[in-house]
Amino acid sequence: MSAVNGSTPKKAVHFGAGNIGRGFVACFLHNSGYEVIFADVAAPLIDKLNAQPSYKVIEVGAEGTTENIITNYRAINSRTQEQELIEEISTADVVTCSVGPNILKFIAPVIAKGIDQRPQDLKPMAVIACENAIGATDTLAGFIKQNTPESRLEDHSDRARYANSAIDRIVPAQDPDAGLDVKLEKFYEWVVDRTPFEGFEVPPIEGIQWVDHLEPYIERKLYTVNTGHATAAYHGYNRRKRTVYDALQDKHIHGEVRKALAETSKLITTKHGIDEKEQAAYAEKIIRRIGNPHLEDAVERVGRAPLRKLSRKERFIGPAAHLAENDHDCQALLAAAEMAFRFQSVEEDAESKELAEIMNNDTPEEVVRKICGLTEQEKLFPKMVEIVSRVQADAQD
């Protein structure tokens, strides 16, 4: 383990050595002097990481290209090297993950074992989930605690502190011949809740913005960046566009993205008291970011996992349900959700196949309850039933 600038060596275990893991989280940890231990289940990726002492993170944009060289890492297979991983976790300063919100339950047991074996003289490790989901670290913490013996829960906070985060940087799927290198946009934002570290210093990770109230940041991010991105991707997929950039060249789609962001901006400004002008400028910036011509971001990546994206707290139903309840307009969000319901049986996307099955077998009301998590009492319920009925009827033609 090497120290940077003579500082104490620091160690981070990061679950998920994929796009955001290698390209953003590990890059920031490395630049802050941490040794990074990647934990993943993809054996070829682990072998490559262990065989190659460095990889490049390449930032692309209108301003040109810059490169970061990442070193001082190792990789562990979390399926086959459990004991080794537990030992690394037990002495880590930080545990992060970017595996996808549905995978958190699978990584929790090994983290629970690592935390439980933490030597008493070490201060609590920081656990930060870096997923696109509201309260992802809380979700992970819940699974970790379920996997911890009851007798060890009382002083669990002496061993681990859990902080929610909002992480924003567009990292598209990489060229098959890129190896470990990651191409991504220059912009980044990583906002983390400071409050769980009361009485301790926050982990010294350069680039993190520490805040006392995370909710406005994560809702603004998910309901602007991800709503806009997904709106472009689902409309784009249904109009046979290849990338989000291509989709945004289409006037109709561009208009739908703007309308959807005007709707979510209403929620963000009214619910969180964010200034209208500030939110308008933020939304403009997001439209520019998702339309970055250098990124080649395929609509299939951005639309991946439609069941997750159509769920209750996610980028369409979350804001639309809130707006409908308050009698505000949510037409563009509904139009985008309809396009998401049409994202069925897409190659290499298991959820899109499951969506097709549910749409074939269930009534519209069952679909809306099951996928969107809405109840009959909510004002959005009948609107979604209408949409699902239309998509089902079109499939019969």
Ligand X SMILES: NC(=O)c1ccc[n+]([C@@H]2O[C@H](COP(=O)([O-])OP(=O)(O)OC[C@H]3O[C@@H](n4cnc5c(N)ncnc54)[C@H](O)[C@@H]3O)[C@@H](O)[C@H]2O)c1
Ligand Y SMILES: O=P(O)(O)OC[C@@H](O)[C@@H](O)[C@H](O)[C@H](O)CO
DSSP letter (8 states) at residue 347: T
Q: Which residue is catalytic, options 11, 221, 309, 383? A: 221
Scanning 95-168, the segments in alpha helix (DSSP H) are 104-116, 136-146
Return the H-helix or E-strand segment holding 95: strand 94-97
Site string for ligand X, 3-22 (x = CB under 6 A): ------------xxxxxxx-
- Reference 131, options 175, 99, 163, 95; nearest CA is 99
Closer Cβ to ligand Y, 40 or 168, answer by number: 168
Using CB under 6 A as the binding rule, whether residue 132 contacts ligand X is answered as yes
**Phi then psi dihedrals of residue 12, to 5 deg:** -125, 140
39 binds, among ligand Y, ligand X, none (CB under 5 to 8 A by kind): ligand X
Q: What is the DSSP string of 252-265?
A: HHHHHHHHHHHHHH
Closest CA to 315 of 232, 212, 211: 232
By CB under 6 A, name the one of 107, 141, 166, 208 that touches ligand X: 107
List the single partner that 11 binds among ligand Y, ligand X, none, CB under 5 to 8 Å by kind.
none
Specify the residue, 323 or 336, whose C-beta has the smaller distance to ligand X. Answer: 336
Task: Using CB under 6 A, count the residues that bind ligand X.
Answer: 26
101 binds ligand X, rule: CB under 6 A? yes
For binding to ligand Y (CB under 6 A), which residues are involved? 132, 168-170, 225-226, 229-230, 302, 304-305
Q: Is 309 a catalytic residue?
A: no
185: contact with ligand X by CB under 6 A? no
Torsion of CA 98, 99, 103, 106, to 10 degrees: -90
Binding partner at 302 among ligand X, ligand Y, none, C-beta below 5 to 8 Å by kind = ligand Y
Please say which residue, 40 or 193, places its beta carbon nearer to ligand X.
40
Q: Kindly list the distances between the CA atom of residue 358 and the CA atoms of 344, 345, 380, 391, 392, in Å, as whole numbers in the listed order.
A: 10, 11, 20, 12, 10
Site string for ligand X, 293-332 (x = CB under 6 A): ----------------------------------------
Tell me which of 98, 231, 243, 352 binds ligand X, using CB under 6 A. 98
Residue 246 vs 378, nearer CB to ligand X: 246
Asked if 115 contacts 147 with a C-beta cutoff of 8 angstroms, the reply is: no
Whether the Cβ atoms of residue 245 and residue 300 lie closer than 8 Å to each other: no
Contact 184, 60 (CB under 8 A): yes
Minimal distance, residue 221 CB to ligand Y, in Å: 7
The sheet that has 94-97: what strands, in order across it? 73-77, 34-40, 10-15, 94-97, 125-129, 160-162
Q: Which of 167, 307, 333, 336 binds ligand X (CB under 6 A)?
A: 167
What is the footprint of ligand X within residues 23-82 (CB under 6 A)? 39-42, 45, 78
The footprint of ligand X (CB under 6 A) covers 15-21, 39-42, 45, 78, 98-101, 103, 106-107, 131-132, 167, 169-171
Please identify every residue annotated as catalytic: 221
